Amino acid sequence: MGSFLYRRVGQTLITLLLLTLLIFILARLTGDPTPLIMPSEATDADRAFFREHYGLDRSLPEQYFVFLGNILQGDFGVSFRYREPALGLVLQAIGPTLQLSGLSMLVAIAIGVPMGIGAAVIPESWFATSVRFYASLGQAMPSFWVALMLIVLFAITLPWFPSSGYGTAANFVLPAVTLGFYASASIALLTWANMTEALRSDFVQMQRVLGIPRRLIVLKHALRNAALPIVTYLGLQFGLLLSGAVVTERVFSWPGIGQLVVDAILNRDYPLVQACVLLTALLFIAINLAIDLLYAVLDPRIRA
Amino acid sequence: MRHLPNRPGIGRRAAMRGTAGIALAAGLGVPGAARAQAKPSLTVALGSDVVSLDPDRIPGGNEYLFMANVFEGLYGHDENGKLTPILAEAVTPSADGLAYDFTLRAGAKFHNGDPVTAEDVRFSWQRAAAPETHNPRAAILVANIADVIVQDDRHCRVTLKRRDASFMENLGEFFYIKPKKYLQAVGDEAFAKQPVGSGPFAFVDRRVKSFIKLRGFDGHWGRVPKVGEVMMKIVPDDQSRAAQIQTGEADIVCNVPPALVMPLQRLPNIKILRVSSFNNIFVPINAVANPNLAKPEVRRALNMAIDKAALVKTVMFGFATAQDLPCNSAILGCDVKVEPYGYNPQKAHEMLVSAGFDFSKPLHFLGQAPGRVPQSRETVEGITYFLNKIGVKTEVTILDYGAWMAIYGGKVKDPQIDLLYANFTDYNADPSGRLLRAIRSGGSYSWYSNPEVDAMLDRMNDFASPAERAPFLRQLFAKLHEEAPVITLWTLDSIYAVGKGISWAPTPNVSWPVLWNVVKAA
Amino acid sequence: MTQPLLTVRDLTVSFGPQAQPVRAVAEASFDLHPGEILGIAGESGSGKTTLCSALIRTLPRAARAQGEVVFDGRSLLDLPEREMRGLRGREIGMVLQNPMTSLDPLFTIGNQVNEVLRERGARDTAVEALRRVHLTAPELRVRQYPHQLSGGMRQRVLVAMATATAPRLLIADEPTTALDASIQDEILLLFREIRDTAGTAIIIVTHDLAAIRRLSDRVIVMYAGRIVEEGPTVRIFHAPRHPYTRGLLASVPRIEDDEVVLQAIPGQVPNLAELPPGCAFADRCPLAQDRCRAERPGETSVGARHRVFCWQAEQGA
């Protein structure tokens, strides 16, 4: 287990290093930030100062090494636009994003997994058909449309929830349902497929023959065995949600990472783009690591 | 820091909470009575966030939605958009226009209780003009101040290096008075996080891209707001912002796109308010790089080819004011009488032919992607329709704001671009700021070059007073009308949606909500 | 003679369209007495596994079972599923053919054995149950996972689980096929011991004739879904009366001098969907006559509790 951990951490560090190079290049590919940051009234002297102050007049390799050196000391630079440390802005935005992603995952699991199990256990029923219908809907409906529909139904027509914004528990409901709905569709299908597989295994046949009650076969044995690919997928989905459900964040005015990084890109705010992407990548890697560890907990064969 | 941005507004939700509140108050007895006397709080939904809270670090016109409510200059504008004394109560300009004696208002205070004195005026100039501050707008006004002489607490003399007829008009937007004691005590960084001004509203708190919280300043010298707390929520999506007024979560919604006015107007509890603004929409013509466009007759013909009134009606749903001159008629000097271009496609075509316009070469038209200016794309489509109708071929490219800005404001103007969609706001009635940047050769947004016009523009402010300058400005605009460096279109109207209990007259000729005169029924 | 524990009469399992059914098992009839070990021999496709599934009612939905199966006075084919579930794992136990994959890889041996013991109401502890099947170091094994045990050990665990409640009948489908030769013997001895100590009747289904010879008291030979011969093990192995049985016994590879002799039965197992009207073995049979091809053979008794389905049974004794 120890060597497994070391290897994974080592891989992570290399990945991160490559990532810094990639992000550095990509950010600069978006274009020159000067006309966007400097208002029209600025003089040439102001512009020159801006470029010099942020090192934009130095050569690219030089800029990269300065950037890398700063990161290693925890300094992600100062946002061109906000004139505040980029790291602070990102950390402020990560909170709402993590909260929303986490809640959406819970919603998705709470809906999708029982649906998948039910459909696998009674495959020819009206229940299974409705699960299939639900999954098609969930995968087909674009999230912004779902978001707007939910706002119209449950904020405007029925004034149950706030239409947008961040602050109270009630604010979480509509965005979490929007994101959770889509994720729950694919989780339902994945669970269904994996549970069907698991229910066909030899050991499940054995347990039926031994007379183990169905409840234990489905919920203890088949589910645990089906869980492994589902857990991987959950990790992937969570990562996707983290990197910014941009559209949902925009519709609900959710002050998360998605909005922050898109605005930063549109404003050519290099330090902020870099900080957002790097920190999101770090989170993603951390989640993958956690998933790997979860695997080892769930499956004793991996621990060997 | 987590705050509760939802405040009861008008609507079902508010009614539900309102009755519950009354019941609770009745149950508790006395506290309910006290609550009824506090000023109501106001919720405003905005389309975009501000970047800087520091008046010496204003990167763009968007910041005024904050600055105009929290800070003040010596002079400013009243609820009709006219120049009026603000922190000063009187001014005596010298005959040569190089010195201005200001008498400050007694009783003007900063939000922390400190009185506004001449020392603060002097300090504000020094900070705004200091090279270390890197005030990107210093060149407009404060860089031209030679000195601020403090005569006593309420009197100071501002001397200029050169005559500047735009000085008085620009005081409200380019020279904010900041508290010297407070700033020196807390330092620049802390001031930028927790600014203190003298305006009708004091800053309380903000969360980037989420909200800005203000509080009505009861100690204001004359514009004490009738509302208590103001929560400005940032809601970038148009539909979501419109939903805020429908659910009653917001009392006022700003930046309502014209396309959403009709459905909102039909709802019983909502009022639509509109005022004209100085947000100019026009099409710069690359007269420098394209020989086809070098002749003024060609450019006038292009103006003639477009039915601007029709576009206002169809593309802007009527929420714009068509302009013949490159300015709103309330701009100084823009009331000059000229022969309007008119809409005459036949004549336009003839003029192009006799000027030798090459119809085989399409004009490359750069547009702006939707999101920042309402109907930006549709406007470009409308213009190309009219141009195509008289045989002028066009090739349209739509770019996102950043890419568009990189070209529009680029150091070297792209010779491949012939026409651009542009929006440029005049912050007040003085035209010199914009014209110098948008028309004078070498200006950051200028695609035009004419030495005669340049000479006129360079002299534009070299007058002792606005009155002395007025005839010259009219001459200048007449010349610009003749030269037609741009295809003029219109100025946008600011559209607000307000709830039933709100009575408010938004200040005209500004593109931001000035909130001190909002009255909210309890 | 005691009452039979299990009586099977004319058991038929059909698939496919009603008009032209494919019979995986056709009109099988036999008895099993308490404490008896019955071996069912045949190649793959002979219907022996389907027969076992039919007995414990684990056939797929598409299958139709007809006939009579009486276990301990109860008609199994008519029993409601709930009662059948009550029988499985208590009075009727089964061991399946893939020990490597018949245990849940994610739970410990102890967890799984305890689960069976608890759900089926046995009074042993897991360690005791494992000791009963001679699994070495049972205290260690209960904390281990299936992938840490060899095939033979896993089979013992499965046998422990199947016999936890001392069932009256134990059905073992190819219990030793997936195991090493050295282990196979031990498992067979285990079965013998279970019969001796608990009086459990055992049906062992396999194509491994040596295993049947070692373990069973009586043998049933199946071909193409039908029983072709049934009798005491000694008689079947010394004096088989059905040509298929003879061919089967002769086809076991043996060493003569320094050669390995393989004597396969010529031809192939017929397609169950296209069976001839007569004896299904006729095409491959050295003694086939016209009558064999035209008419399906009836039952002929050729000794004490020894019967055969062949028109040529009298010959070649």
B72-95 pLDDT, tens digit each: 999 999 999 899 999 999 999 999
Contact of chains B and C by CB distance (3 or more pairs under 8 angstroms): no
Number of Cβ pairs < 8 A linking chain A and chain B: 132
* Position A181 in a domain: yes
pLDDT at C217: 94
* Position A134 in a domain: yes
pLDDT range class, residue B22, cuts 50, 70, 90: very low
What does pLDDT average to over chain A? 88
- Residue numbers in A near C105 (CB within 8 A): 203, 225, 299-301
pLDDT at A1: 62
Taking Cα atoms as reference points, which of A86, A144, A70 lies closest to residue A260? A86
Residues 151-170 of C with CB under 8 A from A: 158, 161-162
The predicted-structure confidence for C209-245, as pLDDT tens digits, reads as follows 888 999 999 999 999 899 999 999 999 999 888 888 8
Domain that holds residue A196: 86-303
pLDDT at A46: 80
For chain C, the three-class secondary structure string (H helix, E strand, C coil) is CCCCCEEEEEEEEEECCCCCCEEEEEEEEEEECCCCEEEEECCCCCCHHHHHHHHHCCCCCCCEEEEEEEECCEEHHHCCHHHHHHHECCCEEEECCCCCCCCCCCCCHHHHHHHHHHHCCCCCCHHHHHHHCCCCCHHHHCCCCHHHCCHHHHHHHHHHHHCCCCCCEEEEECCCCCCCHHHHHHHHHHHHHHHHHHCCEEEEEECCHHHHHHHCCEEEEEECCEEEEEEEHHHHHHCCCCHHHHHHHHCCCEEECCEEECCCCCCCCCCHHHCCCCCCCHHHCCCCCHHHHHCCCCCEEEECCEEECCCCCCCCC
Q: Taking residues A89-93, what's their average pLDDT? A: 92
The predicted-structure confidence for B124-138, as pLDDT tens digits, reads as follows 999 999 988 888 888
pLDDT at residue A239 is higher than 60:
yes
pLDDT at residue A304 is higher than 70:
no
What does pLDDT average to over chain B? 90
Domains of chain B: 12-230+499-520 (3.40.190.10), 276-494 (3.10.105.10)
- Cβ-based neighbour number of residue B332 at 10 Å: 22
pLDDT at residue A148 is higher than 80:
yes
pTM to 2 decimal places: 0.80
pLDDT at residue A109 is higher than 60:
yes
The predicted-structure confidence for C133-191, as pLDDT tens digits, reads as follows 889 999 999 999 999 999 889 999 999 999 888 899 999 998 888 888 888 888 899 99
pLDDT at B192: 93
The predicted-structure confidence for B28-58, as pLDDT tens digits, reads as follows 444 444 444 589 999 999 999 998 999 999 8
Point out the residue among A203, A208, A298 whose CB comes nearest to the CB of C104: A203
Instruction: Determine contact: B240 vs chain A, CB below 8 A.
Output: yes
CB distance A210–C105 less than 8 Å? no
Contact of chains B and A by CB distance (3 or more pairs under 8 angstroms): yes
pLDDT at B2: 40
CATH number of the domain where residue A174 is located: 1.10.3720.10
pLDDT at C203: 94
pLDDT at residue B25 is higher than 80:
no
* Position A174 in a domain: yes
pLDDT at residue A228 is higher than 60:
yes
pLDDT at B84: 95
The predicted-structure confidence for A172-196, as pLDDT tens digits, reads as follows 999 999 999 989 999 999 999 999 9
The predicted-structure confidence for B91-130, as pLDDT tens digits, reads as follows 999 999 999 999 999 999 999 999 999 999 999 999 999 9
CB distance A165–B248 less than 8 Å? no
pLDDT range class, residue B10, cuts 50, 70, 90: very low
- Residue numbers in A near C145 (CB within 8 A): 300-301
Q: Taking residues B271-285, what's their average pLDDT? A: 94
Residue A84: strand, helix, or coil: coil
- Residue numbers in A near B445 (CB within 8 A): 40
Q: Taking residues A232-238, what's their average pLDDT? A: 87
pLDDT at A68: 84
pLDDT range class, residue A158, cuts 50, 70, 90: very high
- Mutation for B interface: A90, A99, A156, A252, most B CBs within 10 A: A156
Which residues have a Cβ under 8 Å from the Cβ of C206 and sit 6 or more positions away? Answer: C39, C40, C41, C173, C174, C175, C176, C177, C212
How many percent of chain A have pLDDT more than 70?
Answer: 99
The predicted-structure confidence for B139-173, as pLDDT tens digits, reads as follows 889 999 999 999 999 999 999 999 999 999 999 99
* Position A56 in a domain: no
The predicted-structure confidence for C266-314, as pLDDT tens digits, reads as follows 788 888 888 888 888 888 888 888 888 888 888 888 888 899 998 887 7
CB A30 within 8 A of CB A265: yes
pLDDT at residue B19 is higher than 50:
no
- Mutation for A interface: B43, B231, B240, most A CBs within 10 A: B240
- Residue numbers in A near B210 (CB within 8 A): 165-166, 253, 255
Residue scoring higher pLDDT (C20 or B176): B176
* Position A70 in a domain: no
Residues 3-22 of B with CB under 8 A from A: 3-6, 11-13, 16
Look at A39-48, A204-213, B368-377 and tell me which has the smallest mean pLDDT. Answer: A39-48
pLDDT at B35: 43
Chains that touch A (3 or more CB pairs under 8 A): B, C
What does pLDDT average to over chain C? 88
CB B243 within 8 A of CB A164: yes
pLDDT at B251: 95
pLDDT at B24: 46
pLDDT at residue C316 is higher than 70:
no
The predicted-structure confidence for B291-344, as pLDDT tens digits, reads as follows 999 999 999 999 999 999 999 999 999 999 999 999 999 999 999 999 999 999
What is the least distance, in Å, from the CA of A259 to any CA of chain B?
9
* Position A47 in a domain: no
- Mutation for B interface: A57, A163, A263, most B CBs within 10 A: A163
- Reading the block at residue B332, the tokens are 């100084």
The predicted-structure confidence for B431-482, as pLDDT tens digits, reads as follows 998 998 899 998 889 999 999 999 999 999 999 999 999 999 999 999 999 9
* Position A147 in a domain: yes
Q: Taking residues C246-269, what's their average pLDDT? A: 80
Exposure pattern of A176-213 as b/e (b: 16+ CB <10 Å)?
A: bbbbbbbbbbbbbbbbbbbbbebbebbbbbbbbbbbbe
Q: Taking residues C89-100, what's their average pLDDT? A: 88
What is the least distance, in Å, from the CA of C33 to any CA of chain A?
22
What is the number of domains present in chain A?
A: 1
* Position A243 in a domain: yes
pLDDT at residue C19 is higher than 70:
yes
pLDDT at A75: 84
- Residue numbers in A near C85 (CB within 8 A): 211
pLDDT at B305: 95
pLDDT at B176: 96
